[in-house]
Amino acid sequence: MTNDEMERLQAKTAQQRFVQVLEQEYDCAPRVATAILEEAQACLLGRPGQVQPGQVRAVLARLQAGHGRALRQTATTEVIWTIDARQEDHETLQQFGTQALRQVRIQRLLSEAIEQGAVATQEDLAQALHVSVRTIKRDCAELEAQGVYLPTRGYVQGIGRGQTHKARIVGEWLQGQTYDQIQLSSRHSLASIQRYVQAFVRVVHLQRQSFDKGQLARLLAMSPALVEEYLAVYRQHDSPACRERLESAMAAYEANISVILTAIAEAAPEATIVFLEAYNPFSLGTGIAFEEGTSLMVVRLNDLAAAAAAAQGIPVADGFTSMQGTAAFTTLMLASPPDIHPNALGHDVLAQAIVAALG
């Protein structure tokens, strides 16, 4: 490929288009436009290993490191720990108090360590949460008395991995408990409980589509260890009642779309209804794995929704393909704060898709 051909290809990328908009429509100098692009990508996508608000870096023993050596002789690795989960932690604090919040954080930190290939000691937890080791030991004893598995270094090396709080919460949901009931027993926020269950449902759904564990981890931005744990929960609770609850959750999206379309048709029987497929607001054109994974999920959901629309004779407009790789300049994702909705150009692109669907 010649230099001229390379330059022409580079000029067609979404990043270059964004730079051109800044230069031509906002009179930015080329270096300024490039700097804005780099900063926008860092704010939205994060720099590699970037610590987000409420997170800290910690150096912990590697999960596979041998036990019995002095810690200074043990192989270590750096992890990112979420000390403060903001709204979720605030909800736990308001409803259950300081000790319950600390115990939820202990479980979260231990789980995050395992998912990043590390394992923490009680001393690590005490340092991160700014409390004494005695306080951590007391909290751990109370949690273990309730049957909570705490994968600290000595425990993991001594008897192997058990079931973390995420898997336990999903198991309780599969057994028929409501989110409110699970919250009372686990003291985790409703938002976190719902997130664990939704992540579990997505893992099972894609696993049924013949994705392997490595692909699941990449598509869902999830650690291989957590993927395996969710699949283990699925196998463990493979009973008629649990299967029925899971199938109900997996069918909810398609059923809800059908109900919505029917309600719209009944409310406006003379109107022409067009179903506009969703676009991926994270498809900025950077080519990173996260974009590919989220795009695949949007395609799968669009397929379900489009099938429901077609079953009712409703034309389907392809809002996905026309916006793919262009979110940097067809949406408000680079605004402050980021917004997934389209800007004027994005509305024009989607309008053309609707016109095309109408023939």
Q: Would you kindly state where each structural domain of the chain is located, as residue ranges?
A: 3-45, 54-159, 163-249, 250-358
CA 301 vs CA 189, 205, 259, 333: distances in Å: 27, 11, 16, 21
Please state, in angstroms and rounded to a whole number, the distance separating the CA atoms of residues 194 and 202.
Answer: 12
pLDDT one-digit tens code per residue, 83-133: 999 888 999 999 999 999 999 999 999 988 988 888 899 999 999 999 999
Q: What is the pLDDT of residue 123?
A: 93
pLDDT in tens, 181-215: 898 888 888 888 888 888 888 888 778 777 788 87
Q: How many residues does the chain have?
A: 359
pLDDT of 156 > 70? The answer is no
Higher pLDDT, 257 or 178: 178
Could you count the other beta carbons within 10 Å of the beta carbon of residue 98? 9
**Predicted confidence (pLDDT) per residue in 303-346, tens digit:** 888 888 888 899 999 999 989 989 888 998 887 777 889 999 99
CA distance 16 to 217: 30
Q: What is the pLDDT of residue 210?
A: 75
In the DSSP assignment, the letter for residue 335 is S
Domain at 250-358, CATH class: alpha beta
pLDDT at 222: 82
- Distance between CA atoms of residues 240 and 280, nearest Å: 36
Q: Is the dihedral of CA 30, 34, 35, 37 positive or negative?
A: positive
What is the per-residue pLDDT across 13-45, written as a single tens digit (0 to 9) for each? Answer: 567 777 888 888 888 888 888 878 777 766 665
